[in-house]
Amino acid sequence: MTLYLNDLGLLCAAGNSRPEVIKRLLAGDRSGLIATDAFGPTTIVGQINSELPGIGPRYRIYNCRNNQLLLAALSQIRTTVDRMIEKFGVDRIGVVLGTSTSGVRNTELALAYQAKHGALPEGFHYKQQQMGAGADFLSEYLGVTGPAYTISTACSSSGKAFASARRLINLELCDAVIVGGADSLCRLTINGFAALESLSNGYCKPFGLHRNGINIGEAASLFVLSKEPGPVALLGIGASSDAYHFSAPDPVGTAVIAAMQKALHDAGKRPDEVDYLNLHGTATVLNDAMESKAVNAVFGNQIAASSSKGMTGHTLGAAAALELGFCWLLLTESEHGALIPNINDDEPDTGLAPLHLVQKGESLGRGIQVCQSNSFAFGGNNLSIVVARA
């Protein structure tokens, strides 16, 4: 059964609306990456620069930045969501999200307040940082009563949410699912990746010769998935787990190759039928080396490919949904097949397996029909998704 991505709402360092995001991505604009010391030692992050909607007193136990990001993304698709609720009923609408930190920033701020004043601040609630808080919040806010839960598998979290959401519909437990993810900036992740020596000492350089780590970003991306025909079809999902190492990828990339091949098989597509591949492309030495080898093994060096993280930062648990959103935008709003460039402001690394990394201004010269997107995570949680113009 073919399912469709009927609508998309997203915001990230590249913009706060679909038109702004696609315009800045195609231009190779990385101005959304900024230096800050708000989370510890000065580092470059992908920060959302937007006034976010408030969460009223009725939902005060959910009041955190992560849920504000979700609410901002929801506002962009609210008309479609309301139409689905009216058509199918509140009990047939599910919510499946991915995150890696949820609202832990609220707890960081609350503990800092407690250290200074001797008590937690009024209004703080543990629910604000729970992994499942986002799905619970959206479900409560919309009044839907279908299955609502959150998946947390590090940087593939929101990608795994699509596999789970699709399953809910195929099992006839839901008629439509609000699916996606959100992650917001916090000290926990920035200092954690610093301890792993995985943060870049400047702007990240995906697949660049001098790449040395990631820039962490924040984002929210929400879709409406259903059986109703829509602009983009969800064709294939491939998942694998290599369990090679807690944080390092298997350098051979065997399980990553399997995930991409499974997604293609599920979609009924050959590698040469994919127009564009959004790479996981974290800009770490090991990830990019592995991914270039794996992609070359499946696609050769002909497929147009890029990492968008050079403009958004790595948005962790939200990355898979965000970057699938970029593919949705290419399929629906990219004129003449304009492609997202691989921005790294660096020399090519000729030691990597050869890839066709998209350059600024590059275009297919025709409408983009099929896109694929990769997301990999600590512990070897690998995912690849194929979507197509419907």
Supply the CATH number for residue 325's domain. Answer: 3.40.47.10
In the residue annotation, 280 being an active-site residue is answered as: yes
- Give the active site residue among 12, 64, 174, 280: 280
Contact between 219 and 97 (Cβ < 8 Å): no
User: Which candidate in 64, 155, 186, 327 is catalytic?
Assistant: 155
The residue type found at 300 is G
Catalytic residue among 12, 186, 204, 314: 314
Q: What is the rounded CA–CA span in Å between residue 54 and residue 77?
A: 17
Residues of the chain with pLDDT under 70: none
Distance CA 44, CA 302 (A): 32
What is the reported pLDDT for 38?
95
145 in helix, strand or coil? coil
Per-residue DSSP letters for 310-363?
Answer: HHH-B-GGGHHHHHHHHHHHHHHH-GGGB------SS-B-TTSPP-EEPPTT-B
Whole-number Å distance between alpha carbons of 47 and 8: 20
Note if 336 is an active site residue: no
> Which H/E stretch holds residue 263?
helix 254-267
Q: What local confidence, expressed as pLDDT, does residue 380 receive?
A: 83
User: Does residue 314 have an active-site annotation?
Assistant: yes
335 CB contacts (<8 Å, ≥6 apart)?
A: none
DSSP state of 171: T
Rounded CA separation 125/102 (Å): 13
Quickly list DSSP for 50-119: SPPPP--GGGGGG-SHHHHHHHHHHHHHHHHHHHHHHHH-GGGEEEEEE-SSTTHHHHHHHHHHHHHHSS
Number of domains in the chain: 1
Q: Is the separation of the CB atoms in 182 and 220 below 8 Å?
A: yes
HSE, side-chain direction, 13 A CA sphere, residue 174: 26
The whole-angstrom separation of Cα 157 and Cα 144 is 22
Spatial separation of the C-alpha atoms in residues 81 and 143, rounded to whole Å: 11
Angle at 338 (CA atoms; ends 336, 341), nearest 5 degrees? 170
Residue 7: which domain range?
3-389
Report the 10 Å Cβ neighbour count for 118: 7
